[in-house]
Amino acid sequence: MVQKKAGNFLKLRWTNSLLTLIVLALPILREKVQLEDGGYVIARYSPIVLVGSYAWLKDWYPFLLMLGFSLFVYIATSTAIILFGKLFKFWKMKFLT
């Protein structure tokens, strides 16, 4: 019997990469910006834009934080793809056979 490696789900595949890029392109980070007249505006940022901005400004601590966040998103999407695949196989075997 061939045993699967534990980290095999993290292998670079086009579905994992595409879903990760879609999630990172969404404006999911928000900030409340104070205006001079006392009001505020909610600004939303995409993580990909922030990674590029921090690299351009050579602000390394937030740059590394955003890279860590990107790695977390990749691991979460890879796990979700594996779980939904197993759930779909279970559903297909249980209800379609």
How confident is the model over 15-56, as pLDDT tens digits? 888 999 999 999 999 999 999 998 999 999 999 999 999 999
Whether residue 3 is predicted with pLDDT greater than 70 in this model: the reply is no
**Nearest 5 degrees, angle CA 56-CA 59-CA 60?**
110
User: CA-CA distance, 75 to 72, in Å (whole number)?
Assistant: 5
Helix-strand-coil percent breakdown of the chain, rounded to 5?
Answer: 65, 10, 25
Entry pTM: 0.77
* Residue 5 pLDDT level (bands cut at 50, 70, 90): low
User: How is the chain split into domains, by residue range?
Assistant: 12-95
pLDDT number for residue 85:
84
- 27 close to 46: Cβ distance less than 8 angstroms: yes
Report pLDDT digits (tens) over 57-80: 999 999 999 999 999 999 999 889
